[in-house]
Each structure stands twice: as structure tokens, then as C-alpha cells.
A and B are shown apart, each in its own frame.
Chain A
Amino acid sequence: MEPLMESFTTELRRGTLTLAVLSQLRTPQYGYSLVQRLEKAGVTIEQSTLYPLLRRLEKQELLTSNWDTTESRPRKYYVISEYGSDIYEQLKKEWETMTAELKTLLEGDENDETD
């Protein structure tokens, strides 16, 4: 992809990351399992972006975390908090309105061309 296009795409995707991550954390997930879930859904996210993002969301009290040391390898599980769920619902609504608005705009554009 040419660099300009890449920077636009990254910018476009950046805002949706929080939403994507919050959506997957209704059940506890550790870092790598979250990466796999997102990738399976087709959402690519740099791991170097994801782990710091998880910590930031935890600091902002949208997530809670705890260490599971019962398995062979200790893993840090993240899960959405009550406050996080509230924010998630609001964000989701924002996203839906926004996509609907944008869709109107973009379809309008197509109609103009076919006219």
C-alpha cells in the first residue's frame, strides 16, 4: 500500500480499536487470546498497540485485570468493568449513528455519479 493511503487507513482504524477491544472483553481474555479473537474476526491490530491500550483502559477503569497463576504459564486476564460496559454501550451507539450518517453521505456520492 502506498504510504499516504496507509497513513489514512491507520488513522481511520485507530478510533475503532477501543470499540473492537471492549467488544471482546465481556469474557476474560489474556493478551494473545484477544489478538487471536480479533484476527479471526478480520480485525488486524499491532500487538505493540494492543498491550499498551489494555493497560490504558485498565488505568481508566474500563477494564479490570487479574493474574491467573494456576496454569503452567501465568497469564494476565482482562475483563470489562461495569463502568466499561456503560462506556462501551455509548460508544457503540455513537458508532452506529456515525456509520449510518456516513453511509448516507457515501451513497449520496454514488448516486451523484450515476445520475
Chain B
Amino acid sequence: MKLIEAYIYEVTRRLPEKLREDIALELRSTIEDMLPEHFSEDEVKEALLKLGDPARLAASYRDTPMHVIGPKVYDAYIWTMKMIVPWAILITILVHVVETIVLFSGEESILSVVIKSIGIIIANIIHVLIQTFFWVTIVFIFIERIGLAKSNGAITKYGTEWTPEQLKHVHVISKKKLIPRSEVIFGLAWTAIWIVLYFNADRLAGVYRSINGDGLQMVMPALNQSVLLSYLPIVLPIALLEIGLALFKWKERQWTMKLVTINAVMKVVSLIVFIVIASNPALINEAMIPYLANVLEINSSSVQNFTDWAVWTIIATIIVTVAIEIYDSYRKAKA
């Protein structure tokens, strides 16, 4: 008798309050119907085994679905996740990189800052992913249980049931022309990083020396921040255009001739601006050359030659990279 009570309890505790009494009564009379007049414990066990796992029995009495995200919204759910997750990761990385650069005081060595940052970024990404996963899932559980109670069809990423009309929004993209999402995201991250570097160059780029074995510290900025900032009216529009271009790439998802042209023009303009800024002799902090000459025990003109050589090597490398990138995008658009 105890087993029967326990079984009924195990079923009914999983059911809504208003159903419990009725189902308990029916279950009890059913179980008793299954048993002979004088029954043994083994016979009770046999009867209960026929009814099966109380959790499953309770589940078949309930109308609510036995899944969290059902087949109706699964597709929309996965699509939403795929859209949100890369952005969540990108923003997490950017926020931390920008914060670190802005707050960088030069007191700690760059290497230890970088190592520490990587640790913090990984921890933050895990945290953000858990949060994203949690909230998106919560929203979809609501959609599943409330929004879809009456509709029979599955919800697509457009938020409605599927119709052939939706095919008009589908871009068939050949794999050869595809611009990977990751490429766009890295492009945006790069834009953000160089903007921050631009505004903080005097605190980041310079001569670092180990003082009292205390790790590397900056003793002399390499660049003249006020000269650098005087180019702001050109640099800022370029930054904005670069962000705009990245968003355009995100939308288009493939290389077209139009996109290749815009991209090439953008790249060439930025390159020219970069060359103009880099070749301005006032850009290099004038105190640095005598300082380096003193430290390295060579004359100032050798140092000057060396910095010139370094600047032009960087420019040449960038020209080659830009040329390769433009050719590559052209090749993909033609494919």
C-alpha cells in the first residue's frame, strides 16, 4: 500500500494543483483494479512497472512541452545565437583593449600588461558568452511557451512562418566570393585599435628602458602628439568611412566590383594620408634623436638615417600589403 501511495505522490507532485486530486483518485482505483483481492508486494511492483516511470506518466498528463527550445523555434534560436555571439566577443575584446590602452600609465611592462589582458579577456569572453546564452535562451523559452501556443508552423528567422516570399531575400553567395564574417570583425577591431593608438601615441610608442630592474618603462615618447593630432580633420573621417565600409561588407557578404572599387579607394586614400603623416619630419619627437644618439653612442645623423629608414620600410611594407589585398579582393569578385 505504501508503494502505491508513493507512486501516486510521485506522479501528482509533478502536475498542476487543480488536476492532482482527480488524477490521484483515478490512478488509485486503476492500480487497485489491476491487483487481485489479496495482493503481495511483488504483485504491486508488477502493476506499477506496467504504468512505468511516474515522471513520464506525469509528463504525458501535462500539455506543456517537454523541451526548452522546440523544433518550431530551434532554427530562429540558433540563427540569433550565431548573430549575437561574434559581436559579443568582439565588443568584449574591444572594450578591454581600449580600456587597457587608455589606462596604460607606463609603470608596468608592456609584456606583463599584455599577458594579464589576455587572461582577463578570456575570462570576460566566457562570462559574456554565459550571459548571452542565458538571456537569449530565456527569451526563446518565452516565445516557445507563450508566443507559439496557437501557431502550428515553425518560426523562421524573419519571425513569421515560412512563405516562398522569403526566398526573395536569400542571396545565393558563391564560396569563392564570400567575405567571411570574421574578416569584417577583425577589420573593425583593427580600426578601433588604431584609433585608440592614434589618440594615445605619446603614451605608448617610445623608448622603453628597464629602470632599477623594475620591468620596462617608457622614458621618452617617440612621436609628437600635437603634430599627430593636427591631422585629426583627415583621420577622423577616414576612421568613420572605414567603419562604414566594414558594415557595408557585413551586409553584402560577398565581393562585388562595386565593393572592390570602394575598398580600393578607401585603402589608397588611407595609405596616402599615412604616408603624408609619417613623412612629416616634425612628427618624430625632436628630443628623441639626441637622446638615442647619446644612449647608443653614435652620432645624431646616423640615428636620423635609421629612423628615416625605419619609416620608409614600414611604408613600403604597407604599400605591398595594400596592393596584395586589393588584388585579392578583385580576384574574388571576378571568380
Contacts and interface: CB of A to CB of B under 8 A. Distances in A.
B226 interface: no
B29 A48 contact: no
Interface of A is mostly: helix
B1 to A, nearest CB: 14
A73 B32 contact: yes
A83 interface: no
Q: Which 7 pairs between the two chains have the least Cβ-Cβ distance?
A: A32-B33, A52-B60, A48-B52, A48-B57, A31-B30, A52-B61, A76-B26
Interface residues on B, range: 10 to 19
B130 interface: no
A28 to B, nearest CB: 14
Contacts of A15: none
Interface residues of A, number: 16
Interface in B16-48: 22-23, 25-27, 29-30, 32-34
19 contacts: A31-B29, A31-B30, A32-B30, A32-B33, A33-B33, A46-B52, A47-B51, A47-B52, A48-B51, A49-B60, A51-B27, A51-B57, A52-B57, A52-B60, A74-B25, A75-B29, A76-B22, A76-B25, A76-B29
A76 B22 CA distance: 9
Interface in B85-126: none
Nearest to A52: B60
Contact of B61 (A47, A55, A73, A76): A55
Contacts of B60: 48-49, 52
Contacts of A46: 52
A55 B15 CA distance: 13
Contact of B33 (A31, A49, A52, A55): A31
Contacts of A67: 25
B55 to A, nearest CB: 11
A95 B263 CA distance: 65
A21 to B, nearest CB: 14
